[in-house]
Structure 1
Amino acid sequence: MTIEGTREALVRAGVELLEETGDSDVGLRAIARRAGVSHGAPRRWFPTHRSLLAAIAEVGLADLAATLAEAADRAGSDLAAVAEAYVEFAVSRPAMFTLVFRHDLLEGSGAELRTVSQPLFGWLVDMVEREMSNGDAREAAAALWVGVHGIAVLAATGSLELAAGGVDRRQLIAIVVRNSLAPR
């Protein structure tokens, strides 16, 4: 295995284990075992456990960005369709979704996750700006993300039914989109 191949294999193994176990703090030894390398190998490529988790989270953020872009392309930039894709990502990949937003766990990892997450938010601001007739697109995008993220967390944990009392998640998403874009 090449030098780059070992690093890639560790990240890929971490992603696989995260998805299989649902443990956002998947261990170094388990990742090394899955990658087929010695238990000390992760330390050669990642100075800390957090730095490996951050590399795994980068994959998740990139996957989320690709999922949202695909939904926007497919639905003609319909914000509700993009929001539904966000929620579906959380439901279908709850451990990755959780890890991506575990800033407490990833803090100090040395990774620049903001280089992936900030353009994602900027992309959302641009989409919102195209849909708004007036108002602050950045503020509306933040409100939209917060609302949809709440739905996503509740849906991913199986709590949406309890919290929303049988209201369809698509209805909730439509309400959040409409309210976020409403003039203030």
Structure 2
Amino acid sequence: MSATPTDGARRPRRDRRQALIDAAIALMSEGGDADISAAAISRRADVAHGLLFYYFTDKQGLVAAALADVLSRLVHHQSPRADEQTPEQRLDGFVRRHIEFLENHRTLYVRVVVEGVLGDPAVERALREARAEGARQVADIVGLEQPPTPVMQTAVVAWTGFLDRAADEYVERDDLSLDDVVDLVVRAFGVVTGR
């Protein structure tokens, strides 16, 4: 039987840093009543409280790292699959997986993005970068000219906002089917971009 961090063994540095990120994500995902203090995060990660400040300088640095971790999972999750051969299939898959990911991480999404509970310049920057990456991903998926014209870039960025609001509606309502929402969002892309 191997030693675990709770019975005296030390985690490797990378594991302790990731444990703090995972603990922050877990606590932020628990909803509005969850304690997301530095002490609570350290306890959940089962690491010394001071390590949070060693790895991240402050709690907001950890929150930004946790958000970046979740957003990188989103980018990976919504990437095209091998069986999606056409731009239409790739866009449909992107939209479907984006909505499913937001639904599966709903509490975290609402808390950080919709309610802005952790409003901080680093968090705002991470969200802007994630949205820009999503727009780049979509442009690549559908084969837009690179770099896109300023108007086309604006259209794609605006459409990603529409996608997020449509995802919000889907998750908040009982009378919408995922297929209908995906179809709506994909059709809206064609209207907005003329493609």
TM-score by length of 2: 0.71
Q: Does 1:122 align with 2:132?
A: no
Check whether the contact 1:128–1:137 (CA below 8 A) recurs between aligned residues. no
What do you get for the CA RMSD once the two structures are aligned? 3.2
Output the amino acid matched with 1:149.
D
Q: CA deviation at 1:90?
A: 0.8
Q: CA deviation at 1:140?
A: 3.4
Number of equivalenced pairs? 173
* Partner in structure 2 of residue 80 of structure 1: 92
- Residues 29-69 of structure 1, C-alpha deviations (whole Å, 9 max, x = no match): 22111211223331222222111111110111111001111
- The aligned runs of 1:51-90 (5 Å cut-off) are 51-69=61-79, 71-76=80-85, 77=87, 78=89, 79-90=91-102
Q: Which amino acid aligns with 2:180?
A: Q
- Aligned pairs for 1:153-172 (under 5 A) are 153-156=168-171, 159-161=172-174, 166-172=175-181
Q: Is the 8 A contact 2:166 2:185 kept in 1?
A: no
Q: What corresponds to 1:96 in structure 2?
A: 108
In 1, are the aligned partners of 2:170 and 2:177 still within 8 Å (CA)?
no
One-letter code aligned to 1:27? S
Larger gyration radius, structure 1 or structure 2: 2
User: Which of these residues, 136, 152, 157, is aligned with residue 142 of structure 1?
Assistant: 157
In the alignment, structure 1 segments of 5+ residues that lack a partner are none
Identity %: 21
Q: 1:15 aligns with which of 18, 21, 25?
A: 25
Deviations 1:91-148 (A, max 9, x none): 11113334663667353338963555533321212224459xxx95423322331221
User: Are the aligned partners of 1:67 and 1:85 in contact in 2 as well (CA < 8 Å)?
Assistant: yes
Q: Match for residue 3 of structure 1?
A: 13
Whole-angstrom CA distance in 2 between matches of 1:147 and 1:3: 40
Name the CA distance, whole Å, in 1 between partners of 2:123 and 2:176. 41
Q: Structure 1 segments of 4 or more deviating over 4 A? A: 114-117
- Structure 2: tracts of 5 or more residues without a match: 1-10
Q: Is the 8 A contact 1:13 1:31 kept in 2?
A: yes
Q: Which amino acid aligns with 2:53?
A: R
Distance (Å, rounded) in 1 between the aligned partners of 2:48 and 2:122: 22
CA distance in 2: counterparts of 1:110 and 1:88, whole angstroms: 22
Contact 1:68 1:82 in 2 (8 A): yes
Per the normalisation by structure 1, the TM-score is 0.75
